[in-house]
A and B are shown apart, each in its own frame.
Chain A
Amino acid sequence: MVGAASATYHLVYQLGGKYGVISVNEKINPTFLRAIKLADCEGRMTSMRSLKRPFSVPMDSLPYTPEELEEEIAEIATKQINDEGAQIIVVAFTLLNLFVKPGALERLSSRLNAVFVDAQAIALKTAEMLVRLKLSHSEREYPLL
């Protein structure tokens, strides 16, 4: 079992010193923050900032066009990078690629000279790595039922 949040934040710790998080729904931030604390990755987070218009599930309507979404992510990330010293940006939305144009994270990385990570890809690559390495959870920490 790979938690996308845990996999992402632990990888972020290997990539740089400080990171910022952009959430897609401010009202869910307590859950996102709890996941970060449980992963013991709170210490290097500069801030968690939210999109102005939230995503929720089920989605009755889309709050942003792909261009608008990419631009607002850029606007928020710019503050985190320039004002807070973030080097890495996590957009806490594993479905992000479905709502932006292809290559959005690469474009943002290049434009803002910071690392933008794809949580969905990190989760899958972590799962594949663990299967290849024949690694699973410690039964001392997580006893089988």
Chain B
Amino acid sequence: MMKVAVIAPGALPEEAKMAMKADMLTYAEPGTTLEVFAVEEGKIAVAADLDMKAPSTVALAQKIEQQGFDAIILDGT
């Protein structure tokens, strides 16, 4: 068993999170479980919008870590 969290950099509707999880589970190892989180506040339209999200992302990652996840993926390329 492996618990993996994914942090999306921006707010996503619940159906998008579900679709993302379903897509990733098609190539995940058997036994890997996924949960998709998002840095909800703010928009992403220009580069600086992402910079503004750094503190919230770190805080969210710390909360996720405390929930016993084995790995966190910081999404976005």
Contacts and interface: CB of A to CB of B under 8 A. Distances in A.
Interface of A: 1-5, 8, 25, 27-32, 35, 54, 56-58, 90, 92-95, 97-98, 119-121, 123-125, 127-128, 130-132
Contacts of A54: 45
A94 B76 contact: yes
Contacts of A31: 47, 50-51
A119 B77 contact: yes
Interface in B6-51: 6, 8-12, 16, 19-20, 23-24, 27-29, 32, 34, 43-47, 49-51
Contacts of A29: 47
A123 B50 contact: no
A124 B28 contact: yes
Given A25-B44, A58-B43, A127-B71, 9 more contacts: A1-B71, A4-B77, A28-B45, A28-B49, A57-B43, A95-B8, A124-B6, A124-B32, A124-B34
B24 A124 contact: yes
B77 A27 contact: no
Name the prevailing secondary structure of the B interface residues: mixed
Contact of A98 (B2, B9, B16, B74): B16
Contacts of B12: 57
Interface string B36-77: 000000011111011100000000010000000011111111
Contact of B20 (A58, A95, A125): A95
B37 to A, nearest CB: 13
A4 B73 CA distance: 7
Contact of A1 (B8, B23, B74): B74
B24 A1 contact: no
B77 A28 contact: no
Of B8, B27, B43, B51, chain A has the most CB atoms within 10 Å of the CB of B27
Nearest to A131: B70
